[in-house]
Amino acid sequence: MNNLNSILIEGNLVREPLFRSTPKGTPVCTFSLASNRFFRQDSGLEKEVSFFEVETWAKLAEACNNLGKKGRGVRVVGRLKQDRWTGNDGKQRSRITIVAEHVEFRPEFRKDNANDRAVSAAEEAAEQARDYSEAGFDETEDIPVMEEALEPAVVF
């Protein structure tokens, strides 16, 4: 029976993701995640920051490479993996990383200079769709049919 090894963590990317491939061509993307914890102690609110290395594979690695940018918020669901090795000095070393099984990116916001407010990428896409529909596109409109006679299709 396997023991439970599961983690869910939220934070922000510390730097740009690093994308590479294994010798067999499998995509691998790694990134660092900073997770903040706030707690009350004595006279005020304290902040504790923890840093974690996250590893993604295959299509998830490609998606993380395309969507991940320094500072972007992210939620990772995965498992912990411990790597062990002997250093050049002969001492035993180990490192714990998160192997992601699911990654969600928080929406990116950009500054709308005209109104001086933050606009998400989804809002921007909706605005573009409205602009497109106002330009006279009607998705219920029939597709024009060629008046020329068409040869019948050949069925095998």
3-class secondary structure, 134: helix
| pTM confidence score | 0.68
8 Å CB contact between 98 and 79: yes
Decide which of 76 and 119 is more confident: 76
Provide mean pLDDT across the span 38-67: 93
Provide mean pLDDT across the span 7-15: 97
Write out the two tokens for 28.
């691998």
Q: CA angle, corner 58, sides to 54 and 59, nearest 5?
A: 100
Q: How far is CA 127 from CA 38, 112, 122, 131, 133, in A?
A: 37, 12, 9, 6, 10
CA atoms of 25 and 35, how far apart (whole Å): 31
CA atoms of 115 and 121, how far apart (whole Å): 16
Q: Please report which confidence band the pLDDT of residue 111 belongs to, taking 50, 70 and 90 as the band edges.
A: low
CA atoms of 4 and 14, how far apart (whole Å): 28
CATH homologous superfamily for the domain 7-106: Nucleic acid-binding proteins (2.40.50.140)
- H/E segment holding residue 67: helix 58-67
Lowest mean pLDDT among 29-43, 69-83, 118-132: 118-132
Predicted confidence at residue 123, as pLDDT, reads 60
Predicted confidence at residue 1, as pLDDT, reads 79
